[in-house]
Amino acid sequence: MDTGPESSAPDNPRKQLFDAFIEHFCSVNSHQGVFPKKCRTCGKEYENLHHYIGDTESKAQTMEDVGEIMGKSFTMVYRNCSCGNTLVVTITDEIMPQITEFWEALRLEAEISGHSLKHIVTSFVEEWENDINSQLSRIRKNTRF
């Protein structure tokens, strides 16, 4: 990895870790079958993961690794549609090869920081939302709808 002079935040390794995984999650957009996702209650369609994370509300339980129950890599993301309906997106290692690495990194981060895994996951999702919102506001500035 090239660490140029612009990597001015070595004091915040968690943000760097999160940013790297946010990029991997955003590659999910190119996989068929995950998106578009349609809300069965109100009919709203989410074109991609950006749209989904950016336009839904976070729930108390945001992401869960249910791999042990499923017997394979299996992550569930829970978000509320603007109508209140819960929309679940499932991510396997076929969709995102780095998903196992992601959970290992978050578990390690929880252990090192002394926080619960849930706390780390919530911080990750918040960082992801912030990232998408800042990207969306950049797009809105440059595009007329």
CB 35, min distance to Zn ion, A: 15
Map residues 64-103 to x or -, x wherever contact with Zn ion holds by CB under 5 A: -----------------x-x-x------------------
CB-nearer residue toward Zn ion: 34 or 106: 34
CB 85, min distance to Zn ion, A: 4
Q: What is the DSSP string of 34-85?
A: TBSEE-TTT--EE-SHHHHHHHSEEEEEEEEE-HHHHTS--EEEEEE-TTS-
Selected from 7, 41, 133, 135, the binder of Zn ion by CB under 5 A is 41
Determine contact, residues 15/9, Cβ cutoff 8 Å: yes
39 sits near Zn ion (criterion: CB under 5 A): yes
CB 41, min distance to Zn ion, A: 5
112 sits near Zn ion (criterion: CB under 5 A): no
Binding residues for Zn ion, rule: CB under 5 A, are: 39, 41-42, 44, 81, 83, 85
